[in-house]
Amino acid sequence: MSMSRARAARRIAAAAAYGGGGIGLLGVTAFGILLGEARLARRVVGGLGQAPPHADGRYGSAFVHGLGREPLLLALLGDSTAAGQGVHRPRQTPGALLASGLAAVAERPVELRNVALSGAQSHDLDRQVTLLVEDQDRIPDVCVIMIGANDVTHGMPAARSVRLLSDAVRRLREAGCEVVVGTCPDLGTIEPVYQPLRWLARRQSRQLAAAQTIGVLEAGGRTVSLGDLLGPEFAQNPRELFGPDNFHPSAEGYATAAMAVLPTLCAALGLWPEDEERPDAARREGILPVARAAAAAAEEGGTEVTVARGRWALLKHRKRRRLPAHTEATHHLSWQRMRSP
């Protein structure tokens, strides 16, 4: 963990809270290099292509005739990763995976509504939140936000990016939603991206992820880092975890991300027994100052950060399992097994 990253994340979050700006995480010269290399990368990285599959609807049909409870309402917000860009079947999208998993753990149906937009930057979150809260009779029980990659590639000042995300989380919490944010992924894992862009992209995206964590916790949400979770696995298995465009995750990549987010999603709703996964010092878990916890999470994907008390945060690595197949029935069985000790 880098203490300098913790200090930088704290400065960015403070600037976001007080309306600061600036060019962001890189100097003018470095940012110019980043943009130049990005133009070269775009020649070999596929475009957005066709629209992501529409996965909205009800999941957990096996529980429809259970206790007669209303379905949980799960909403996804953010960019192309939240939308499920890069796969062809609705059931392969992160929204469908999370809805199926949540239904199995809760043993009740889950209604999925996805308002994410491919190519979205954090300033689009205001519009997405409005779509979800304008109907007071259908406020989501829990929202998952995945955002930040396009802020990095378009040079949005980090403080502005964090402020926009924090505002969105705060609005959702005030409306009564639980919020889980998958922080900015590690853009240094994109296969066609070369040095020095790869190093710069990794540095900037991890710094943004750390700052996002601080802002989200202050706004009342929880975070799960996606960066390093996908980094080593993407580097080792790029053909499996990247989609056909070499940029967005494949079905297996989205399943990996969904398995990291699901336990935190369930914990936010009180469905994941907290006493079964107490902090383990051997796994580098515990209570840390918020900025240090944010920096540590940015270094290791799949790390959950929640508020402990005051300026302290709880760092956890929740257990996850790999999905055996991409069918809804199989998802139910797999997610159900995750609940077993």
Active site (catalytic) residues? 80, 245, 248
CA distance 215 to 64: 38
Place of tokens 């079964």: 276
